[in-house]
Amino acid sequence: MLTDKTTTQQIINAIPNPLIVTDGSKVELCNKNFLEFFDFHSIDAFSEKHNCICELFQDKENHFSLSSIDNNTVWTEYIFNSKEQQKVSILCKNNNSHIFHLKVEQINGNYLIVFTNITADEQNPKLKDMAYHDHLTKIFNRQMFDMLYLKELENKKRHGDHLSLIMLDIDYFKALNDTYGHDIGDKVLVALSELITKHLRTYDIFARWGGEEFLILMPRTDKATAYQKAEELRQILDEHSNEVPHFTASFRVTEIKEYDKEQSAFIRVDKALYQAKVKRNDVVQL
């Protein structure tokens, strides 16, 4: 039978990203991908050369390094408590710099750190933009929304803030496409995206979920406030007129609860689709 230590090592070795467990100074545990990436045959070999992984963080603009904090602050605690996702530049083997996003979690007084290599994205911003934005409307795509949603879920659990979700889709969009053609349908999608973007806060998260369906995630917002925003947006769309035909949208609103799992809130707003579609051009809250 495997020992607990052996089992833990096998589990973390299965994780494709470099991973360590540290007290903020010494690396207590790491996976094989960490050792391979930083070119060490064992954790002891790494510890002999470096007191802490943070020694390898380079001072670069918009990147976290030890110069970003004062001497009395533990860097792992700082990143763990930060609402912003931190990225670091690390000098790796062959004197090549790689850029990582750091995901930090607390485990029994230590910190588990997962390194996600984003070097290619950072070196080619255009490709990064294409990967995370919808090509037609230029707002976030589903992939980016999923990433930001998980981050906001963590913030909610950590800080207890309100978090609300709005789902909307264009009424009778198929009929609009059949009547005016897909080029006009595309223009309607772009017009909706531009109108809604203008009336959201900078930290609201707006994405095209697929087809004519869109999502808005509103941090630090309770359901009543999100409902008011949805009603405001519904009215703006209904009253707006430009080069595209008149269109309306139906909205569903819910607040993310402490007991919600990753997909349960989406299931909840999706179930409200029928209620919103009975009347069309309506807002339903759950």
Show the tokens assigned to 242.
Answer: 């430009």
Question: What does each C-alpha distance from 246 to 94, 167, 249, 272 come to in angstroms?
Answer: 60, 20, 11, 24
Considering 28, 77, 154, 212, which one is annotated as catalytic?
212
| Residues contacting 156, CB < 8 A, separation 6+ | 162, 163, 256, 258
Question: What does each C-alpha distance from 200 to 46, 119, 193, 204 come to in angstroms?
Answer: 48, 31, 11, 6
Q: Is residue 212 flagged as an active site residue?
A: yes
* Among the listed residues 68, 125, 63, 105, the one whose alpha carbon sits nearest the alpha carbon of residue 88: 63
Q: Give the whole-angstrom CA distance, residue 57 versus residue 138.
A: 33
Annotated catalytic residues are 212
